[in-house]
Structure 1
Amino acid sequence: MSIARALGNAMSGLTATARGTETVAANLANASTPGYARRDMVVSAQTAGGNAGGVRVDGIARAVNASVLSESRLAEGARAEAATRLAFAKQVEDQIGLAGSAGSLGAALSDFRTALSSAASRPDDGIRLTQVADKAKALADRLNAASTQVQAARGAADQAIARDVATLNKSLAEVAHLNRRIAVLEADGSDPSALMDQRQAIISDISKIVPVQEVTRPAGAVALFTSQGAVLLDGSVPTELSFAAAGQVTAGQSVGSGLALLTQNGAELTKSQMRLLAGGSLSAHFAVRDELASEVQASLDDLAFDLHERLADPAVDGTLSPTSAGLFTDGGLRADPGAKQGLAGRIALNDAVVEASGGKAWRLRSGLEAGSEGPVGESGLLIAMSEALERATPAPPGSGFSGKASLADRLGRVEAQVSTVRVNAQSEAAVRNGQADTIWSRLAADGVDSDAEMQRLLQYEQAYAANARVIQAIQTMMDQILGI
């Protein structure tokens, strides 16, 4: 080997070790940076005229386990969906309350029943009659508050959908932009690794909203599809999603009646097409708005209607007619079975027994529509109302209840359903969190290992010293030749 070739080989080795050292430094500096992929220097033997000619740096490769990365994105989408459902379930359970807990809907019903029993034992006591009216109002207020909270949750979900769609559109546009920039850098022979890291982080954020699959395209670009196969980005122009938020949501609103689904590239999606975007926070917000909250509202409405009907029965209060409202009213009128949607939010105490509204508490003893006060010792109506609440009656037609049950039993079923939904959501969230954490650990294991990087740095140091000694030996040889 000639001196010139030996010098060239040593110089290429120094260049490669310098580039490798830079790679190690970048890995160590970004060991904790989210979305950073470990860099590895790619080298090959350099040949000249069929003979070895040193080492050539072919480029810098990003070390990414594509299959584990794909799994992590699906897992993060499932985690986001489970977290959204759990947050709603906890919110509803906190509002309705656990059975027997202070401030719960069940406690309000128990207080009302206790007040009726107390007044029945002393019907002449005006204070006890007033307490019955107060506890009845408190029960109606608790139903109102629960209904209001459910509709507020629907409204919050509707707004969250709008935010998710805006974030999704922005992120897809950023991925498309990065695709173009990466293609330019690769065409120039530059290293686009930093842009690829940025793109990877954006795609991971997208996956929390809608789980996606990444497909490699030429020139370093990627295409994005939902896990169900819908195209989000394949080319230079991403899919454009839009959503018209309703603002305040009421019990009577549903899809097609005040509430909208998504629009994709100007075409409104059907309910079946919406399944293509399932699996992340976006689909969970739709589920809260259109399914989960509506089911809770329907149970509260059924409960409110059952309460209303039990105390509006002429068999309980002989002063009432078949069209009378009874102790509880729907806007001052008798509740209509065909229009009970949202009744839990409208039910109120009859003004006939509210002193502040011109009513008289003695009507709780003499009858809601009594023209004059009866004997002060008459307790028949109070006892009849108490028995009506405790009586096992058939489920009202069109309700979600079944069989015969007292009002307390039906409320207990609602409380149990709400608690069961929360427990199931909590279990699902725990499973999804565990899966996501496990996959994330696998992904992190392929990341930067500080010990391995320091070992690689020592190897580069040794290679640098070896090449430097070759150059030093060449210089010594040249000095001796020139000195002859």
Structure 2
Amino acid sequence: MSISSAFNSASSGLRVTEARADMVASNIANASTAGYTRREGTQVSSGGTGGQTVDLRMARQVDERLAAMSRGASAQLGQANVTGEVLRGYLSTLGDIGDEISPAARMADFQAGLDLLANNPSSASVQADVLARADTLVRSLNTASNALESSRTQAAASFQSAATEVNSALSDIANLNAQLRGQSIGSPSFSGLMDEMNMRLDALGSQMDFQSRWESSGTLTLFTAGGTELVSGTDAARLTVDTQSGTLFADGTDITPNQPGNRGITSGRMAGLSQMLSNVIPQMKLQQDELARGLVESFQDADSSLTAGQPGLFTDGGAAFDPAQSDGLAGRLGINANVRPETGGALWRLRDGMSAATPGDAGATAQINAFIGAFDTARPIATAAGLGSSARLGDLASSMVGAQHNIRVSADSQAGTASIRLATFEDGRSMVEGVNIDTELQKLLEIEQSYGANSQVLSSLSDMIDTLLNAV
């Protein structure tokens, strides 16, 4: 090897060593920087007329498969967490089956009050106690209905907010695509842009599941899990939502989850919110209304004093039940004013019937027993309520409360599983992408040795040249 070739080799070695030192220093400096991906360098040699030289190729350490699995688990966790986020306040208001605030407990308490009245039908204090228990039952359903509507309003606002957040992320990805075009792979600016892209994709992952593909132009194309295009080059789709129906669109294409024939999303926070608005909350509301309908119709049917069109003990805002106005009945459920002394009614109608004109026999129990019998009669339930085809009032109340709490229990179980999967994948990513300070410091020692060796070569070559020149 000639002196000039050796000089070129040693000089290139110093340049590579300097580049490696810069890279390691950058890794250490950004060890705690969110979204930063560890850089690793590979030395490659090349030959030429000037001798053998070395160069450094730098690459971000990424496992795309692990990243995709991590984002998938994040989407599942985001979807499962929606249930607790939206329904936590409502279910607290509803109470569990054994809680005294729940409609199921209030129903049993009211039934027990009627049993007491059957044993002492003439007692004004017992009659007043039955009315108070009926009021408490009605308020429990009214309160639950209002709380569920508040949850629906919260879900609608979150759905709209999530769409805004996703639109911002999609726009950012399209802008990053524009910046990535023409960038030299492995350059510091390219690596920085890729780190930003990685962060945008991770943030998007909790909102919705997606597929991605890197194009030959160096840009990223994004699709829904069903194949609808979200980002292509510098163009990003715009998401819009219908907060009443839970429908989700991408530039007018329906990507609502779990819709036959749709090429939409399948998981993520947006999928959870969509299902809340389209299915979960409407079914919960129907269950409440079916329970309210059961109360109104049962006590209308059991009241022998009524004529057609007259309301029973439980009313739809003071009126008899109208099948065409059943939606929202739980929120309008009330007590017949004919039993309220403060509004001109009389407590004895709890013994004699809501439309009785005059008090009957003080010891009569026929009407009271008919009211008690209403609890033993199975009544039809709307199939869409998901609580079977028929049930007695007490069983219907318990089934409703139990079914609605089970939704939360099931979601919490799914969230626990998704959280474990996400933690596992994130640990794997951290091993690949993260910076280990001890490892980087060891690399600095190797770099120092390499620098010293190349410097020694240059120093020896310089001495050789000086010796040759002195010999001339």
- Judge same fold: TM > 0.5, yes or no: yes
Q: Deviations over 1:352-387 (max 9, x none)?
A: 222333322222123211223334444443333223
Distance in 2, Cα, partners of 1:393 & 1:187: 72
**Corresponding residue for residue 331 of structure 2:** 345
Distance in 1, Cα, partners of 2:68 & 2:145: 41
Distance in 2, Cα, partners of 1:437 & 1:77: 13
3-state secondary structure, aligned to 1:32: coil
3-state secondary structure, aligned to 2:189: coil
| Aligned residues of 1:11 and 1:467 also touching (Cα < 8 A) | yes
Equivalent residue runs for 1:187-336 within 5 Å: 191-245=189-243, 255=245, 261-266=247-252, 271-272=259-260, 274=262, 276-313=264-301, 316-336=302-322
Distance in 1, Cα, partners of 2:90 & 2:48: 75
| Aligned residues of 2:228 and 2:255 also touching (Cα < 8 A) | no
**How much has 1:397 moved relative to structure 2?**
6.9
Equivalent residue runs for 1:89-238 within 5 Å: 90-186=88-184, 191-238=189-236
**How much has 1:415 moved relative to structure 2?**
2.6
Matched, 1:433 2:419: yes
Equivalent residue runs for 1:454-473 within 5 Å: 454-473=441-460
Distance in 2, Cα, partners of 1:118 & 1:98: 26
**How much has 1:89 moved relative to structure 2?**
5.6
Matched, 1:43 2:43: yes
Distance in 2, Cα, partners of 1:320 & 1:193: 80
| Aligned residues of 2:176 and 2:193 also touching (Cα < 8 A) | yes
| Aligned residues of 2:86 and 2:154 also touching (Cα < 8 A) | no
Letter in 2 for 1:359: G
Distance in 1, Cα, partners of 2:392 & 2:223: 52
More divergent stretch after superposition (64-73 vs 80-89): 80-89
**How much has 1:245 moved relative to structure 2?**
4.2
More divergent stretch after superposition (167-176 vs 186-195): 186-195
**Corresponding residue for residue 395 of structure 1:** 380
Distance in 2, Cα, partners of 1:344 & 1:360: 25
> Given the two structures, how large is their TM-score scaled by the length of structure 2?
0.91
In structure 2, the CA distance between the partners of 1:402 and 1:4, relative to structure 1 (3 Å rule), is closer
More divergent stretch after superposition (370-379 vs 466-475): 370-379
**How much has 1:95 moved relative to structure 2?**
3.3
In structure 2, the CA distance between the partners of 1:356 and 1:468, relative to structure 1 (3 Å rule), is farther
Matched, 1:22 2:22: yes
3-state secondary structure, aligned to 2:441: helix
More divergent stretch after superposition (137-146 vs 351-360): 351-360
Distance in 1, Cα, partners of 2:350 & 2:403: 33
In structure 2, the CA distance between the partners of 1:191 and 1:228, relative to structure 1 (3 Å rule), is same
3-state secondary structure, aligned to 1:369: coil
Letter in 1 for 2:440: E
More divergent stretch after superposition (380-389 vs 176-185): 380-389
Percent identity (aligned) = 28
Distance in 2, Cα, partners of 1:323 & 1:371: 17
Distance in 2, Cα, partners of 1:463 & 1:55: 13
**Corresponding residue for residue 32 of structure 1:** 32
**Corresponding residue for residue 423 of structure 1:** 409
Distance in 2, Cα, partners of 1:396 & 1:54: 83
Q: Deviations over 1:20-70 (max 9, x none)?
A: 111112222323333222111243213231x6332123x421111111111
Letter in 2 for 1:284: G
In structure 2, the CA distance between the partners of 1:427 and 1:157, relative to structure 1 (3 Å rule), is same
**How much has 1:437 moved relative to structure 2?**
1.7
Q: Which runs of 5+ in 2 are unaligned?
A: none
| Aligned residues of 2:170 and 2:236 also touching (Cα < 8 A) | yes
| Aligned residues of 1:153 and 1:289 also touching (Cα < 8 A) | no
Equivalent residue runs for 1:394-413 within 5 Å: 394-395=379-380, 400=385, 402=388, 405-413=391-399
| Aligned residues of 2:95 and 2:102 also touching (Cα < 8 A) | yes
Letter in 2 for 1:395: P
In structure 2, the CA distance between the partners of 1:89 and 1:356, relative to structure 1 (3 Å rule), is same
| Aligned residues of 2:13 and 2:454 also touching (Cα < 8 A) | yes
**Corresponding residue for residue 357 of structure 1:** 343
In structure 2, the CA distance between the partners of 1:20 and 1:397, relative to structure 1 (3 Å rule), is closer
Letter in 2 for 1:453: E
Distance in 1, Cα, partners of 2:41 & 2:280: 52
| Aligned residues of 1:83 and 1:429 also touching (Cα < 8 A) | yes
Letter in 1 for 2:284: V
**Corresponding residue for residue 477 of structure 1:** 464
Distance in 2, Cα, partners of 1:126 & 1:399: 42
Letter in 1 for 2:110: F
| Aligned residues of 2:254 and 2:264 also touching (Cα < 8 A) | no
**How much has 1:482 moved relative to structure 2?**
5.1
**Corresponding residue for residue 452 of structure 1:** 439
Distance in 1, Cα, partners of 2:404 & 2:243: 27
| Aligned residues of 1:72 and 1:439 also touching (Cα < 8 A) | yes
Distance in 1, Cα, partners of 2:398 & 2:381: 17
| Aligned residues of 1:89 and 1:418 also touching (Cα < 8 A) | no
Matched, 1:385 2:384: no
**How much has 1:304 moved relative to structure 2?**
1.1
Distance in 2, Cα, partners of 1:268 & 1:210: 15
3-state secondary structure, aligned to 1:242: strand
> Given the two structures, how large is their TM-score scaled by the length of structure 1?
0.88
Q: Which runs of 5+ in 1 are unaligned?
A: 247-254
Letter in 2 for 1:304: A
**How much has 1:188 moved relative to structure 2?**
12
| Aligned residues of 1:89 and 1:425 also touching (Cα < 8 A) | no
**How much has 1:411 moved relative to structure 2?**
1.6
Distance in 1, Cα, partners of 2:69 & 2:383: 45
| Aligned residues of 2:98 and 2:105 also touching (Cα < 8 A) | yes
| Aligned residues of 1:323 and 1:334 also touching (Cα < 8 A) | yes
Letter in 1 for 2:307: S
Distance in 2, Cα, partners of 1:214 & 1:404: 49
